[in-house]
Amino acid sequence: MIPLVDLKAQYNSIKDEIDEAIHRVLKSGEFILGKEVEKLEEEIAEYLGARYAIGVASGTDALYLSLLAYGISFGDEVITTPFTFIATSEVISLLGARPVFVDISPKTYNIDPSKIKECINSRTKAIIPVHLYGQPAELDSIIELAKENNLKVIEDAAQSIGAEYKGKKVGHIGDVGCFSFFPSKNLGCFGDGGMVVTDSEEVARKIRMLRTHGSSEKYVHLMIGKNSRLDAIQAAILRVKLKYLQSWTDARRKNAALYNELLKDVVEIPYEMNDCKHVYNQYTIRVDNRERIRSFLKKKGVSTAVHYPIPLHLQKAFSHLGYEKGSFKESEKASREVLSLPNYPELSESDIQRIAMLIKEVV
């Protein structure tokens, strides 16, 4: 059986370091925030070249608290993509604002900057581009539009730590960047975890308060916040893994290059923009007969996934927005055709060759 992601193999490769880090926290008796989280924040900020990094409970909370820090609330609108995980738009709705969807580019699967301008109005307060699958969004055009219209750019970099756009690491190009450390991410912890990254001292100050019930010091609450603190054990685990992120990214890219060579004349392989570095958190192909291929691969012991089978504008949870089938044709087409194949650093060349051979056979 070839899994989509092999977290056991990753753990076994660095078991002693992970175990030592966990025991260090257990011995310290400091389990919520504390020195491990502070050290991780410093190391992530240095890795990305940012001034501030603030650890939070999840990638979803990173997005939510970023919007909250900018005062997004009832009656506001936030522009984003319908082709992503629900968290990106869910947080907008939770704050009483309205998600405004813009269709994707069929090559990158990311929001199409050429279609954003027509959706901007006096209620628009921010744009959330998603670096889907580890592919950077086209940020130059997005940031230019945002500046022209006094909007904030909140990067959803949940799947893309380490990805680069024109020499800059994503998550540190817009006003804030939001990261997820969900276990299956290319930098994942052993539970939920997230991070907000920014160069703004004021935004960092607000998010530090908001993650702790709006508190500036114990029992002193300057605003309404929530409980969104990163656990020390998760931070300690991430500090170990961060040291390996570059080599793991190189391995993912090497896997993708081999897949590309083997599948380029068989299916539509992932596109990588010029001057950008895709980190292949997912290696996602496009096929016309997806379910037949998935079923065949499953019978042969190969796991696959569909990210994502129903675009957000067609989800029942967002039916009140008034979108219909056909509203975003590229997103709908992608949802019918995308298929993610196994891709993780420990995946062997022989496994990739076998997967490619099976796909050629069924196609």
CATH number, position 274? 3.90.1150.10
What confidence tier does 90 reach under pLDDT thresholds 50, 70, 90? very high
Region 255-267: mean pLDDT is: 97
Q: Is there a single domain that holds both residue 262 and residue 219?
A: no
Average model confidence (pLDDT) across the chain: 97
How many domains does the chain divide into?
2
Distance from the first to the final alpha carbon of the chain:
21
- Quick check: is 280 in a domain? yes
- Quick check: is 2 in a domain? no
- Quick check: is 128 in a domain? yes
- Would you tell me how many other CB atoms lie within 10 Å of the CB of residue 246? 11
The confidence score (pLDDT) of residue 216 equals: 85
Q: Is 159 helix (H, G, I), strand (E, B) or coil?
A: coil
The confidence score (pLDDT) of residue 149 equals: 97
pLDDT in tens, 36-72: 999 999 999 999 999 999 999 999 999 999 999 999 9
Query: 3-state secondary structure string, 85-107?
Result: CCHHHHHHHHCCCEEEECCECCC
| End position of a domain, from candidates 207, 242, 277 | 242
Q: Is there a single domain that holds both residue 75 and residue 185?
A: yes
- Quick check: is 144 in a domain? yes
* Residue whose entry in the numeric block shows the structure tokens 């996934």: 305
Q: Is there a single domain that holds both residue 132 and residue 271?
A: no
What confidence tier does 84 reach under pLDDT thresholds 50, 70, 90? very high
Does the pLDDT of residue 33 top 90, yes or no? no
Q: Cα–Cα distance between 285 and 260 in angstroms, integer?
A: 10
For CA atoms 228, 65, 236, 185, give the dihedral sign: positive
Does the pLDDT of residue 132 top 90, yes or no? yes
The confidence score (pLDDT) of residue 217 equals: 84
Which residues form the domain of 306? 245-362
37 is written with which tokens?
Answer: 């989280």
- Quick check: is 1 in a domain? no
